């Protein structure tokens, strides 16, 4: 569709230019009728183009120009049709003033719409051209008329009238063109403006104006006017015409040769006129002096504007160098400078590093725009919570920093951290609705004079400690944290080669059916023994594996190893194996398909596999995880919810999950059998789970008292050191009868 309108525009211009040439060389009445027909075509094409190519809010300047064309067509038609010497025959001359006023209003409206700021360089350059052109008009046209023996004021008015729009076109074209994309419609408009400028200069000289009852302004002037109309109609008809009504943002450009030549030429006008056409009296000299001073004033204005623009650019560059573009908060450079300035005896500097918990989930679920919105909202809330003298910065990503000073011994940083946790615990109002957010805060404090880099490093260490402790809390740095961080870095590097280096192993802990005391299955647990570091606790390396994503690869290896081993054991007894799924694994696309492939490769039937998910991990992104869980259940795999009671523990959430097994966390099992409050909690979980048709596993069973209490309260399975600690596969002995507790996991 756009191509069709573009072709129509070029076709109109291609047909219009020969018509304009014909009007310039032919004699009336053929030229007259060709002129009128051409203007009529331009009016119709312009109206169609305005309606089709321009939105409602951008049509006014073009409607004003179109109205001038309509009035011109009506006036010249009246000149042809009306008898000579009548009032109607004078109508075209009477309409000349409103025609030029409409043209002036239309072009001025275009200029107003397209330039974004009052100090646009195009405005200053246009004013420079305008003053120079006015000086030329005064010296070359108006002065000779005034000093003539017969000044003929009516001719002066008739000449000055077309010079006004000619001057406007001279001023408007640079304003409209500077900084604009070179679209075809723009070149059509330039052609129209130049043709109109030439026509009005011809009209002002009155050299080629044909009078008479059959005549309208023909010859060169008529041809130029018609060419301007065709070019203007082609401009409006072209689909790129909206470019001319779009705002052009002010930008600083280097002065190129063309603009330097233009400025130089305008400055030379007073001197050249003084030599070539000296003033013809004191009054004329004063007028020229006033116009020359105006020209100098415009040049001074350009210099001032350039200087101010440079100063603003430098100020903006400094601001951008010290502030975050998204939130408007100071950045790390500004933080470092502020901390370096804070000095004084008995003064302590504290940095609070604030990290938004699970911010990545917001980006993944709603997109980066909502994520950016959350960062801005969090920045606003943090700024509103701190004291007046505190400095709030964005450190990058989802991290913010608050820097403050306090007297030695004043726990101002801890108090502020508590207020910030409370403030951020309230949902943030975003475009998608209120969104819950929590934060982990690390605090580092040192004497005045300590660099921001050291403080940030220590605060970052403390912040990770807060995250490891459960998030939504703050931690204060101490040297021991740095040692733990260094160990974490060492473990993270070593873990990358653990799988390929054969350092990972699978240990199995028995899961016993309480009613029969038979081993029903095993939980497969990953273990890591480093050649130099020795055995590394899962409490240390599992969180690192989850943070780095290594858990996806290692978890797949664990699942395949456990499935293959269990397939061998099932030749002796119908046991199952239970494997934990990390949150990162659960979110991996195609998880159910890969699990199905592992079952096929190892030969383990689906009923021989239990997969455990933590309730807290599921709650991170329930919608994404729920679909995967249903796919796994459809394979025939038994799903378990692990560590029940430590997270949300809601009946409504439990009803949503397609699980068959509920595992009670060891934190509650430890307190059963002694009449403590944990017994009520465990009874409630047992009753709720059984009512929903779920079986229950008690974790961390270590004493006979705990076992007996659980059995008396109808718990289905038990797991813990009472039945054996996790051991490598070669050391695990399957007991199929009714084993005694002493030899369930005895060695070979």
Q: What is the pLDDT of residues 576-595, one digit of tens each?
A: 999 999 988 988 889 999 99
Q: Choose between 350 and 171: higher pLDDT.
A: 350
Reduced to 3 states, what is the DSSP secondary structure of residue 515? coil
Structure tokens at 345: 């005896």
Q: CB–CB of 342/448 below 8 Å?
A: yes
Phi, psi of 198 (to 5 degrees): -65, -40
Q: Which three-class secondary structure state does DSSP give residue 229? A: helix
Report yes or no: 475 and 489 within 8 Å, Cβ to Cβ: no
Could you tell me which residue, 250 or 528, shows the higher pLDDT? 528
pLDDT in tens, 696-716: 999 999 999 999 999 999 999
For residue 467, the model assigns a pLDDT of: 87
Q: Which residue has the higher pLDDT, 257 or 236?
A: 236
- Give the model confidence (pLDDT) of 649-691 as tens digits: 556 667 788 999 999 989 899 999 888 888 999 999 999 999 9
Strand 695-698 and strand 661-664: pairing? parallel
What rounded mean pLDDT belongs to the chain?
82
pTM across the whole model: 0.54
151, 143 contact by CB (below 8 A): no
| Structure confidence at residue 659 (pLDDT) | 93
What does the pLDDT read at residue 152?
52
Write the secondary structure of 198-262 as one string of H (helix), E (strand) and C (coil).
HHHHHHHHCCCCCCCCCCCCCHHHHHHHHHHHHHHHHHHHCCCHHHHHCCECCCCCCCCHHHHHH
CA dist 400 → 363, 434, 439, 626 (Å): 17, 21, 10, 33
- pLDDT higher for 200 or 656? 656
- More confident position, 201 or 330: 330
Phi, psi of 518 (to 5 degrees): -95, 150
- Tell me the three-class secondary structure of 249-295, residue by residue: CCCCCCCCHHHHHHHHHHHHHHHHHHHHCCCCCHHHHHHHHHHHHHH
**Mean pLDDT lowest for which of 73-82, 215-224, 234-243, 382-391?**
215-224
Averaged pLDDT for residues 721-730:
90
Q: Residue 9 CA to chain centroid, in angstroms?
A: 38
pLDDT of residue 108: 76
Phi then psi for residue 57, to 5 deg, are: -75, -5
The angle, 0 to 180 degrees and rounded to 10, between the axes of the packed helices 91-114 and 153-177 is: 30
pLDDT digits (tens, 9 = 90+) for 259-285: 677 777 777 878 777 777 787 777 778
Q: What is the pLDDT of residue 178?
A: 55
Band (403; pLDDT cuts 50, 70, 90) = very high
d(CA 208, CA 219): 7
Collapsing DSSP to helix, strand or coil, 577 comes out as: strand
Query: Residue 282: which region, alpha, beta or left (left: phi > 0; alpha: psi -120 to 50)?
Result: alpha
pLDDT single digits (tens) 345-384: 777 899 999 999 888 888 888 888 999 999 999 999 999 9
Backbone φ and ψ for 719, nearest 5 degrees, come out as -145, 135
Alpha carbon 378 to its chain centroid, in Å, reads 17
3-state secondary structure of 641: strand
pLDDT of residue 327: 93
Least confident of 301-305, 545-549, 558-562: 301-305
Cis peptide before 29 (omega within 30 of 0): yes
pLDDT for residue 123:
67
Question: What confidence tens digit (pLDDT) does each residue in 32-80 have?
Answer: 888 889 989 999 999 999 998 888 888 888 899 899 888 888 877 776 6
User: Taking the CB of residue 506, how many other CB atoms lie within 10 A of it?
Assistant: 21
According to the model, what pLDDT value does residue 372 have?
94
**Under 8 Å between Cβ of 19 and 34:** yes
SS3 455: helix
Which helix (H) or strand (E) segment holds residue 610: the answer is: strand 609-614
**For residue range 619-649, what is the model confidence (pLDDT) as tens digits?**
666 777 888 999 999 999 999 998 776 655 5
Rounded to 5°, angle at Cα 718 from 714 and 720: 150
Strands (DSSP E) along 482-542, which ranges? Answer: 504-513, 518-530, 534-536
Q: What is the Rg, in whole angstroms, of the alpha carbon atoms belonging to the chain?
A: 43
Token pair listed for 269:
């006008």
Sign of CA dihedral 49, 50, 54, 56: negative
Fill in the DSSP letter of residue 692: T
Query: Which of the pair, 536 or 252, is modelled with greater confidence?
Result: 536
Helix axes of 332-341 and 452-468: crossing angle, nearest 10 degrees = 120
pLDDT at 207: 38
* Average pLDDT value for residue range 559-574: 93
- Tokens 């017994």 label which residue? 679
Confidence of residue 495 (pLDDT cuts 50, 70, 90): very high
The CB density around residue 70, as the number of other CB atoms within 10 Å, is: 18
Give 556 or 272, the one with higher predicted confidence: 556
747: its two tokens: 């060695």
pLDDT at 590: 92
Q: Is the peptide bond before 275 cis (omega within 30 degrees of 0)?
A: no
Helix (H) or strand (E) holding 711: helix 704-712
At 256 the pLDDT is: 66
CA 393 to chain centre: 20
Are 162 and 137 in contact by the 8 Å Cβ rule? The answer is no
Quote the tokens at residue 373: 């919105």
CA dihedral 581, 585, 586, 591 (to 10 degrees): -110
Question: Where is mean pLDDT largest: 92-96, 218-222, 415-419?
Answer: 415-419
Indicate if the pLDDT at residue 291 is higher than 50. yes
| pLDDT at 434 exceeding the cut of 50 | yes
């Amino acid at each position: 569709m756009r191509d069709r309108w573009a072709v129509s525009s070029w076709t109109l211009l291609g047909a219009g230019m020969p018509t304009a040439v014909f009007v310039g060389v032919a004699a009336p009445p053929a030229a007259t009728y060709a002129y009128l027909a051409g203007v009529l075509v331009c009016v119709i094409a312009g109206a169609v183009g305005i309606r089709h190519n321009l939105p409602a809010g951008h049509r006014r300047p073009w409607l004003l120009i179109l109205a001038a064309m309509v009035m011109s067509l009506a006036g010249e038609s009246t000149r042809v049709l009306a008898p000579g010497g009548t009032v109607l025959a004078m109508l075209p001359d009477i309409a000349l003033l409103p025609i030029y006023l409409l043209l002036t209003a239309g072009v001025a409206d275009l200029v107003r719409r397209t330039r974004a700021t009052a100090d646009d360089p195009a405005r200053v350059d246009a004013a420079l051209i305008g003053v120079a052109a006015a000086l030329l008009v005064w010296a070359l046209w108006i002065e000779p008329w005034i000093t003539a023996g017969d000044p003929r004021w009516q001719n002066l008015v008739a000449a000055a009238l077309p010079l006004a729009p000619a001057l406007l076109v001279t001023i408007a074209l640079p304003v409209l063109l500077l900084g604009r994309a070179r679209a075809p419609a723009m070149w059509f408009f330039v052609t129209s403006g130049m043709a109109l400028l030439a026509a009005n200069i011809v009209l002002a000289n009155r050299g080629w104006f044909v009078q008479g009852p059959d005549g309208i302004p023909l010859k060169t002037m008529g041809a130029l006017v018609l060419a301007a109309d065709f070019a203007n109609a082609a401009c409006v008809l072209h689909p790129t015409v909206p470019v001319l009504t779009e705002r052009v943002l002010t930008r600083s450009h280097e002065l190129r040769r063309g603009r330097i030549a233009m400025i130089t030429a305008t400055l030379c006008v007073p001197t050249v006129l003084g030599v070539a056409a000296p003033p013809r009296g004191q009054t004329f000299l004063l007028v020229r002096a006033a116009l020359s001073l105006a020209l100098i004033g415009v040049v001074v204005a350009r210099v001032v504007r350039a200087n101010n623009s440079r100063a603003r650019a430098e100020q903006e560059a400094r601001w951008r160098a010290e502030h975050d573009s998204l939130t408007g908060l100071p950045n790390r450079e500004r933080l470092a400078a502020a901390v370096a300035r804070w000095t004084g005896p008995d003064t302590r500097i504290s940095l609070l590093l604030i990290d938004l918990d699970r911010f990545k989930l917001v980006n993944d679920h709603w997109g980066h725009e909502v994520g950016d919105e959350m960062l801005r909202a969090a920045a606003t809330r943090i700024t509103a919570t701190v004291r007046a003298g505190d400095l709030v910065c964005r450190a990058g990503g989802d991290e913010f920093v608050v820097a403050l000073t306090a007297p030695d011994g004043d726990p101002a940083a801890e108090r502020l951290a508590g207020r910030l946790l409370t403030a951020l615990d309230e949902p943030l109002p975003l475009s998608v609705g209120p969104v819950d957010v929590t934060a982990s805060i690390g605090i580092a404090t040192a004497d005045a004079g300590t660099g921001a880099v050291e403080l940030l490093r220590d605060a970052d260490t403390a912040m990770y400690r807060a995250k490891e402790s459960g998030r939504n809390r703050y931690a204060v740095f101490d040297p021991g944290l740095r040692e733990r961080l260094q160990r974490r870095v060492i473990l993270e590097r070593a873990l990358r080669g653990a799988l390929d280096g054969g350092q990972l192993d699978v240990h199995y802990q028995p899961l016993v059916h309480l009613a029969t005391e038979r081993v029903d299955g095993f939980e497969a647990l990953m273990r890591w023994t480093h050649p130099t570091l020795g055995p590394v606790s899962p409490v240390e390396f599992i969180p690192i594996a989850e943070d780095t994503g290594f858990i996806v690869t290692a978890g797949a290896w664990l699942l395949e190893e456990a499935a293959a081993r269990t397939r061998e054991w099932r030749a002796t007894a119908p046991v199952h194996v239970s494997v934990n799924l990390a949150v990162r694994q659960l979110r991996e696309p195609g998880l159910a398909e890969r699990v199905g492939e592992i079952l096929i490769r190892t030969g383990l039937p689906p009923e021989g596999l239990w997969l455990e998910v933590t309730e807290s991990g599921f709650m991170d992104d329930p919608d994404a995880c729920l679909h995967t869980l249903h796919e796994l259940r459809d394979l025939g795999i038994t799903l378990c919810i692990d560590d029940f009671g430590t997270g949300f523990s809601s009946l409504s959430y439990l009803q949503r999950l397609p699980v068959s097994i509920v595992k009670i966390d060891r934190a509650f099992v430890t307190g059963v059998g002694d009449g403590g409050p944990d017994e009520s909690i465990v009874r409630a979980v047992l009753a709720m789970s059984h009512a929903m048709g779920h079986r229950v596993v008690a974790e961390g069973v270590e004493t006979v008292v705990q076992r007996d209490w659980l059995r008396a309260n109808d718990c289905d399975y038990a797991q813990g050191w009472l039945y054996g600690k996790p051991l490598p596969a070669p050391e695990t002995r399957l007991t199929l009868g009714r084993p005694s507790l002493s030899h369930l996991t005895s060695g070979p």
